[in-house]
Every structure is written in C-alpha cells, then in structure tokens.
Amino acid sequence: MSSQEYRHIVRIAGKDIPGTKKTIIGISQVKGMGYNFAKSVLDILKINPNSNIGFLTESQVEEIEKAMKNPSSVNIPSWFLNRRKDIDSGKDLHLITSDIDFNVRNDIEREKNMNSWRGFRHTYGLKVRGQRTRTTGRKGGAVGVRKGGKILPAGVPAEGAAPAAAAGQAAAPAAAAGQAAPAAAAGQAAPAKGGAAAPKDTKTPATKPSTEKKTK
C-alpha cells in the first residue's frame, strides 16, 4: 500500500483515531468495543490487527462500522454482545458510543419510577449490587475520626495552660511584695512620727570582780 493512501486521522463510529495506532488498539478506543470484541471483528473481516489504522481503506472502515452496529451480520455469537434481550425490543443488541449512556440512564429512571429496591438505592446514591457500605462509598462531613491531643505525663501542664499558670504564679509574688513594702515603710515611719525614742538595751552590764583584799 502506497504512502499516499495513508491517513493521519481515521474517523470510526464518530471517534477520531490517530493513524499511527495499531488497528486493534484504535478500534478498541471506541466506547463499547473491547479488545477481544475488536479482535474478533478484525479476524472475521480478515484485516491485519497489527497494521497501522491509517492504512485502512474507506471500504474497510465501512465494514468495521457495520460489524460494530450489527454484529449478528458477521456471525458474532450473541453471548459476546453487551445488551442481550433488550427490554423494549427483546432482541440481542450491542451498544456503542452514546447509545450506552442513553440506555443506562433510561434503565435507572425506569427502576426509580417502579419504586423497586434498586430504584430506591439509585435515588439515595447508595450501592446497588450488594457491595459493602460500612467502609466504602462514604460521603459527607462525618467521614473519619478526629484524633485528640497528645497524652502528657502527670504533673506537666498542657500547652495552653502553661503560659497562664506561669503568669499567675509570677503575679502572686509581685502582689505579695507590693503589699509588704508599704507595711514595712509604715512600720519604719511610725516612730519618727510619734517622736518616741528608740528602745534601749535592757541587758544588765556584767559586774567586775572586786579587787579589795579581805581583812582578817
């Protein structure tokens, strides 16, 4: 195949795929087309899955899109499809691209309108298929537990109480010293104000021994 037929962008089922990718990888990028499904389509259409997708011809792209939308036309078994026994038509279908989201949204709305248990679970945003809800799928502000502060040894004040206690202890001696200073000053000034003399020493002086000789 000549290089002139190479395309840098290939559009398949509304998806732009770079031409440098392998054919099987490029097809599996379409929503609803898995790797195994893409390989089965390419094997049935006899297209090399390892060649670059940019070398595909227009006719090959049309065949691939036809096989995507109607897999039964290329004899793909029904167990390979992603929507078997459709509730509206009863047929085995394979949905791709935006059809998947549209049908899933309609299924959820139908379950809500039926007031089924699955509908209630969808309404309240809970898990529907029996999963665990004790540890997963939790929402809101109550998630997790807030841890407390560190446990301090006995006799050690907390961080917030240490400055306050120190300030209180420093203020108590200052206040006591402030009260004692005026009292001492008043005690010293009292004798001067009354004019009384200072108290004398009341101790008796020591008597000297007499030096007179005793007469016979």
pLDDT attached to residue 16: 93
pLDDT at 45 over 90: yes
DSSP 8-state secondary structure symbol assigned to residue 73: G
Domains of the chain: 3-79 (1.10.8.50), 97-128 (no CATH)
pTM of the entire structure?
0.57
pLDDT attached to residue 99: 92
pLDDT at 209 over 50: yes
> pLDDT class for 175, splitting at 50, 70, 90?
low
> pLDDT class for 172, splitting at 50, 70, 90?
low
What are residue 12's phi and psi, to 5 degrees?
Answer: -125, 120
Q: Which amino acid is at 53?
A: I
pLDDT at 67 over 80: yes
The top-scoring range by mean pLDDT among 117-121, 140-144, 149-153 is 117-121
Region of residue 166 (phi > 0: left; psi between -120 and 50: alpha; otherwise: beta): alpha
pLDDT attached to residue 1: 45
pLDDT at 111 over 90: yes
Residue 94 tokens read as 């394979």
